[in-house]
A and B are shown apart, each in its own frame.
Chain A
Amino acid sequence: GAVVSQHPSWVICKSGTSVKIECRSLDFQATTMFWYRQFPKQSLMLMATSNEGSKATYEQGVEKDKFLINHASLTLSTLTVTSAHPEDSSFYICSANSLKLGQGRSATFGSGTRLTVV
């Protein structure tokens, strides 16, 4: 149980274009979804937290107009990287959590999306 699906697993796009990444909770309703970014040899950095039906909360230094997050339902959140630039190339990972998963249960991670901007 608690499976999170993330698509696409990799994407190459041209500089200046936009890329949308989807994160779905398959067998549970995700109260909260998180978006992380991970550069090579670095740890996961939280970009934003989103609760279904409300605006995402962005971490300091993350441009909300560049990284658009939509959490329209309890099973789907999307991250759109707008006007992508080579420095946005990274590994983007979503995770989802639900209070119903129980105490101590951590967020379940999607498989990640490798974004390369050329």
Chain B
Amino acid sequence: QKEVEQNSGPLSVPEGAIASLNCTYSDRGSQSFFWYRQYSGKSPELIMFIYSNGDKEDGRFTAQLNKASQYVSLLIRDSQPSDSATYLCAGGGFQKLVFGTGTRLLVSP
């Protein structure tokens, strides 16, 4: 059973702080990893993807991948109240993604 695990949260951080979201996966064959943001009642929107070990930065977001530890994380710098949402981690390949249950992030003003 291929699984992606996330802490459901909520993770509460004050505005301007760094939010750290974590994800572990069981399938060593997974090639790529994705972070999605999902607002309540909406479909997920892609934030970042990563497929190489190390860090990948895009604006306020940094994704980190450690294939040896089967660990993926997402850092959000200078968190804003508008970042409050559920963040879904997904892993897999072209044909199929396995999603985690998501971590709810709350950014307080």
Q: Which residues of A contact B (CB under 8 A)?
A: 6, 32, 34, 42-46, 49, 91, 93, 97, 99, 103-112, 114
Contact = CB atoms under 8 A, between A and B. Distances in A.
14 contacts: A32-B94, A43-B102, A46-B96, A46-B98, A93-B43, A103-B51, A104-B32, A104-B49, A105-B49, A106-B90, A107-B97, A109-B43, A112-B42, A114-B41
B34 interface: yes
A77 to B, nearest CB: 15
B88 A44 contact: yes
B99 A49 contact: no
Nearest to A112: B43
A110 B43 contact: yes
Contact of B95 (A6, A42, A49, A114): A49
B99 A43 contact: yes
A43 B88 contact: yes
Interface in B67-96: 88, 90, 94-96
B94 A109 contact: no
Interface string B6-43: 00000000000000000000000000101000000111
Given A43-B99, A44-B88, A99-B94, A106 B34 contact: yes
Contacts of A44: 44, 88, 99
B49 A109 contact: no
Interface string B38-62: 0001111110011100000000000
A59 to B, nearest CB: 9
